């Protein structure tokens, strides 16, 4: 069975789907067989991302098409057991702000639960509250890690937030995913940050690659 990585958050705007899509892309680039499941029925950001890739896949005359995604993005109803048999990694982009019951169930399905969080006080408070709940659920707490996202590229806000969370006993990934416009451009084109024209595209992709190696 594949390694199952679920990405969830109780706070919107932390880059949950951006992280899911880019991690899947980083694993695929490493030669792993990966599938991304979008379980966020209300928004469906990952499915919309893949749909934009398909819509923009045919180039206009005299122009090259933007590079799409190197992995399938599926809805929960599209999953069949035989499709999972030869996977290396299964990434789940969960529903935004899941109920407590759903979080408990998620712990039974996933090998690793990633909670993305930006570095503002409001977002860190929401992350701490979620981690407090998960820590009371022994299995969930053991599987959970925070990923700091949308980190300002300048200054030490990311490093300070990481150490503050660790002082509370929370497991936090070493890698900081910094805030670059390349991610927004990638979402608009249905591609990955590595494939957009942006001066910081390489730096954005390097953050994701480093995180993928840290996780698996």
DSSP-derived secondary structure for 157-215:
HHHHHHHHHHHTT--B-S---B--HHHHHHHHHTS-GGGS--TTHHHHHHHHHHHHHHH
> What is the per-residue pLDDT across 139-188, written as a single tens digit (0 to 9) for each?
777 889 999 999 999 999 999 999 999 999 999 999 999 999 999 999 99
In the chain, the domains with their CATH numbers are: 3-215 (3.40.50.300)
pLDDT tens-place string over residues 107-129: 788 999 999 999 999 899 989 98
Q: Kindly give, in sequence order, each residue whose CB lies less than 8 Å from that of residue 177, ignoring residues fewer than 6 positions away.
A: 15, 19, 116, 147, 148, 149, 150, 151, 207, 208, 211
Provide the 10 A C-beta neighbour count for residue 200.
17
Q: What is the pLDDT of residue 66?
A: 54
Q: Is 143 left (phi over 0), alpha (psi -120 to 50) or beta?
A: alpha
In this structure, are residues 159 and 153 in contact, taking their beta carbons and an 8 Å threshold? no
* pLDDT score at 37: 94
């Amino acid at each position: 069975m594949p390694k199952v990585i679920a990405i969830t958050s109780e706070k919107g705007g932390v880059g949950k789907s951006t992280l899911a899509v880019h991690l899947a892309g980083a694993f695929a680039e490493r030669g792993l067989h990966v599938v991304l499941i979008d379980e966020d029925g209300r928004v469906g950001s990952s499915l919309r991302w893949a749909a934009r890739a398909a819509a923009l896949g045919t180039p206009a005359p005299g122009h090259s098409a933007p590079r799409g995604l190197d992995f399938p993005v599926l809805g929960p109803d599209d999953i069949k057991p035989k499709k999972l048999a030869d996977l290396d990694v299964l990434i789940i982009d969960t529903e935004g702000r899941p109920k407590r019951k759903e979080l408990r169930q998620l712990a039974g399905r996933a090998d690793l639960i990633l909670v993305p969080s930006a570095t503002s006080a409001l977002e860190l408070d929401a992350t701490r509250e979620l981690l407090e709940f998960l820590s009371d659920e022994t299995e969930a707490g053991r599987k959970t890690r925070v990923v700091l996202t949308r980190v300002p590229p300048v200054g030490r806000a990311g490093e300070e937030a990481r150490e503050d969370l660790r002082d509370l006993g929370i497991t936090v990934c070493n890698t900081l995913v910094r805030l670059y416009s390349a991610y927004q451009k990638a979402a608009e084109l249905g591609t990955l940050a590595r494939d957009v024209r942006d001066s910081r595209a390489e730096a954005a992709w390097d953050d994701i690659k480093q995180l993928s190696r840290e996780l698996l």
